[in-house]
Chain A
Amino acid sequence: AQTVTQSQPEMSVQEAETVTLSCTYDTSESNYYLFWYKQPPSRQMILVIRQEAYKQQNATENRFSVNFQKAAKSFSLKISDSQLGDTAMYFCAFMMLGNKLVFGAGTILRVKS
């Protein structure tokens, strides 16, 4: 069974600085998808970024980018120019095509002014 590990329960960062959230996963499959979801205090789950495993290029979405290391089974999220609105719980998730999401335990990120 696939597992997703987020080793940082909580992190904090100063406004305008850069922070990296870690995620590792375990699978024997070669085709899959990886996601980062954000859950702010409103508790609405918001898709931040997605990565197809067959693509070597790291996905980026504005201030959010990932470092996808397939061999190491690592999928970290970098947030640049952190903003107060980035304060949220961040979940890393793994999915095989047509299958269910497997979530990590989450990382609470606090952006300080």
Chain B
Amino acid sequence: GAVVSQHPSRVICKSGTSVKIECRSLDFQATTMFWYRQFPKKSLMLMATSNEGSKATYEQGVEKDKFLINHASLTLSTLTVTSAHPEDSSFYICSARPIAGGRTDTQYFGPGTRLTVL
């Protein structure tokens, strides 16, 4: 139980294009999902908290117009990297916190998406 998927697992795009990453909770509902960025051998850096039916909350220093988050349902949140540049290349991870039926105080993580911007 408590499985989170991410799609795609790996994406390569050209500079200036936009990329959308999906995060789905497969066997539970989540009003809150989280988006992280991780550099090699480093800790996870929280980018934003995604709230179903409302605007995301971004961490300080994260450009909300560059990293668009949509949480349209209780099982799906998307992160769109707009006008991507090479410095946006990174590993992006989402997590979700169950509403009920599981440990509502625990975040479950997706497998991550490796983004490479050429």
Contact = CB atoms under 8 A, between A and B. Distances in A.
Interface of A: 33, 35, 37, 42-47, 50, 52, 89, 91, 95, 97-98, 100-101, 103-106, 108
Nearest to B34: A100
B interface, size bucket: 10 to 19
Contacts of A37: 109
Given A46-B109, A101-B107, 8 more contacts: A35-B106, A42-B111, A43-B38, A52-B105, A95-B105, A95-B107, A101-B34, A106-B41
A45 B42 CA distance: 13
A107 B94 CA distance: 21
8 contacts: A42-B111, A43-B38, A43-B93, A45-B95, A95-B105, A100-B49, A103-B43, A105-B43
Contacts of A105: 42-43
A51 to B, nearest CB: 11
B105 A33 contact: yes
Given A91-B44, A100-B34, A101-B46, A50 B111 contact: no
B3 to A, nearest CB: 11
A106 B106 contact: no
B38 to A, nearest CB: 8
Contacts of B98: none
Contacts of A100: 34, 46, 49
